[in-house]
Amino acid sequence: MRLKGRQAGQHSWSSSITHWLIHQWAGRGFPAFIMLVLVIIVAIVLLFALGYYSIGPIGNLSLTNLPGISDKPFWPCIERSFLAFITLSRVENICPGNLQIPDALWEAFQLLIALFFFAAIVAYFTALVLRPKKLFHFKSTLNIRRDTSGCDRLVCSVYAAPVTVTGLNIRIIARVRIDSNTLKNVVIRNGPPKQPLAEPYIPLRIFADLSKNGITISSVDADGYVERMSHRVTTDSKALEIEEFYIDMTGVMGNVEQSVFGEHWYKLSGQEIFFGEFASVDPDYKRARCNSGWAKRKPPQQITKHFDRNKSPLLPDDDAHYVFGYGSLVNPASFARTLGRNDWTMDDFPLATLKGYRRVWDVAMDNSIAIPGYKQYYRLDSNERPEIFVTFLNIEPSENDEVIGVLARVSDEELVRLERRERNYQRIDVSADIVGGPCHSVVYTFIGTREARERFASGKASGTAVISRAYAENVEEAFRLRGRRALENYRDKSQSVEDSKLEVIDLRKETVQ
């Protein structure tokens, strides 16, 4: 079990008293609150009456001044205390006795106490009536659970205290970094939860679908806390980094129809989003539904011990492989055909960004060598197989550049098929450089082998390195189909055909039998 942050049960005496008073106000209704005020007034009047009584000479206690019963009756002291304290009137010689301090000073002190008391009552009553109450308590971490289909769901845990709250509405916002100065709000949920009400200290679990809102997990640390998340408006749009989540909840309190609320910020940098399940809490419905404000002054032990705890983090999907395509494979039809898939959708090939690379034309095959099962090129207007070096796109490290391509999850069999097709390339692990990539999974891409780059250098030196016009046009068309941003990246972050200084010729591709 993992515990993050301050436990829910660390309540001070002041919070316990506040919960008790709120319960008298909202849990019992207005008449109970009036009774509470009257009890406090009576207690203060009696306190001052005892003060008056203790000043004079000691005598037999009596409520009335009956002859032969008492030289110092208590009732006149109560009368003086009530009239002087409550009505702020000057009453003299009602309570007998020899005052040891000036009567005016005593009454001035009494007046100050009375004013403070009434100001406190008015302020408290006004706050209860007019100001929304912050009665929702949020779990110190958000949880993310992954279902069997691989979709991620955000789980917000919250409870209300110390009264029942109805008319619930919750809003969950992801704060997305646009640039160094701008954060964008992405609302991923705004509406009532399935539960119609929040009972005192009964946890509510509020869910929001991350996958359907274009949010993916990119990195999780060894303890299960999410380090990086990204958001895409569409599968073809740019991945934007998420910095934090903001959650607020509103409702109506008890019998008095008063607004209540709660809010919480969860930052990725503060280890406040956990990739795993929350610990279960047995709800204490008996305490939640009792009429005792004293019982509801603080959370039950189940809340204090388990509400902020998490289970073990989700295990990584070590068997999942992804391939990043940045050239002809950007076309989903070409990618699916290469993998041997007949049933596919555009969602199977979302756009992704590879940091720290750029495209170049520097990989070539020797067209004079026929390899069974591999491709070979012929002139378009004849059956001549020219002895040339056909050049293809490659990527090379470039610190300030990025390459937009597509990401596809592949099986072991499909990965072998890809390696067979990409004879001029070798597979490398680029998991750490993919923005918005899958969590805990390996992402591969293919870069030119040393031999393929040497073939290109030899062909360029001899003037026999060329580019197939069909290949160049198909690659650009593939990026055009994936949207403006992808096309602009291809044109801006790639070595152009013109800059390569290679001849572009019409060729026909066939498979060697």
Measured CA to CA, the distance from residue 308 to residue 191 in angstroms comes to 24
Domains of the chain by start residue, with CATH:
13-131 (1.10.287.70), 134-313 (2.60.40.1400), 321-511 (3.10.490.10)
Report residue 274 as tokens: 């956990």
Q: Which of 329-343, 377-391, 490-504 has the lowest mean pLDDT?
A: 329-343
Overall pTM > 0.75: no
The mean pLDDT value of the chain amounts to 80
Q: Are 437 and 362 in contact (CB under 8 A)?
A: no
Task: Categorise residue 441: left if φ over 0, alpha if ψ from -120 to 50, beta otherwise.
Answer: beta
pLDDT, residue 59, reads 47
Angstrom distance (rounded) from CA 79 to CA 393: 100
Stretch 15-21: mean pLDDT: 65
Q: What is the pLDDT of residues 416-469, one digit of tens each?
A: 888 888 889 999 999 888 875 665 678 899 999 999 999 999 999 999 999 999
Has residue 23 got a pLDDT over 90? no
Report the percent of the chain where pLDDT is more than 90: 32
Give the residue among 393, 157, 190 at the shortest CA–CA distance from 281: 157
Residue 8: predicted pLDDT: 45
Give 310's strand partners: 2, 278
H or E stretch including 173? Answer: strand 165-179
Helix axes 412-421, 332-339, angle to 10 degrees: 110
Q: How confident is the model at residue 277 (pLDDT cuts 50, 70, 90)?
A: confident
- Dihedral sign, CA of 13, 14, 19, 21? positive
